[in-house]
Amino acid sequence: MSPTRSRQAELLLDVRNHTGECPVWNAATQSLYWVDIPANQLNSYRLSDQTLQQWNAPEMLACITRSAVEGQWIAGAQTGVFRATAGPTGRLDFTSIAPVEHAMAGMRFNDGRCDRQGRFLAGTMLMDMPAAAPVGAIYRLGADGALEKLLDGFVTPNGMAFSPDGRTMYLSDSHPSVRRVWRYAYDVERGIPCNPTPFLDMDQFAGRPDGAAMDTDGCYWICGIDAGLVHRYTPQGRHDFSIKVPVAKPTMCAFGGADLRTLYITSIRPANAADTDPAGGLFAIHLHDIQGFPESACSTH
């Protein structure tokens, strides 16, 4: 791998998340939101006054997307999809939208986001990673509030992103036994991915394919967990360049900031991390020549 450009993300917040994930930019408040999965926690960082806020959820919180209702979030958690409201007391109010029938015990939701039409899609995984069980599935939250299974057979579904026109869905399996990214034709009328084709074999690149983002050029950004890198790939699957992150386990990235040119990156803090190690922190880099776009809000109320 020979990056054409080399850039370095910097530590923004030394929050020491156990598993920081799913950063989402909220333009209305100029704030970044993200979760810490095993801590059952939602975090937010407001740029104007550099304020960090945290709310506790009643169960593991894996992925979030903005709701069309201001002040609410749609969350893929441990037992299903919930409507979440951040209250003033540091507690996240959960209202069930749709429970999920997992393939087996010990599963939870993992990566997820809305398509360009505002439909929420998210994947499930077995939390016992060494088992390498392909029991994960991709679900879509319907307008009626029910979950529909769209795809299955994944170990750790991850890396979901949609092309700027919404007609291509990217999806990875980040488990060490798989390390692949696929590209699906996406039916924007029905919200159904089909005709998967190989996009990336991550055995050829550093790191496993974790969480992803998309820029306005249609380039796919994927965190190379275990390698301390975030890679950018063109729509043709060509590696463009990589961002260096000063920790081994970056998990997911998202564009934000007033001009949507700042890439925010969450990370994992291993149990044996040294006290001076910034692992689990929130990192950022301003990319003057590259821009993201706002993520769609969930249209299901």
Catalytically active residues, by annotation = 210
- Side-chain-facing half-sphere of 13: CA atoms under 13 Å: 21
Report strand pairing: 262-267 vs 20-26.
unpaired
What tokens were used for 46?
């407001």
Spatial separation of the C-alpha atoms in residues 12 and 129, rounded to whole Å: 30
72-77 and 61-66 beta bridge pairing: antiparallel
**Exposed / middle / buried, residue 15 (Cβ in 10 Å: 0-12, 13-18, 19+):** buried
Q: Closest by alpha carbon to 14, among 246, 225, 287?
A: 246
User: How deeply is 148 buried, as exposed, middle or buried, from its count of CB atoms within 10 A (0-12, 13-18, 19+)?
Assistant: middle
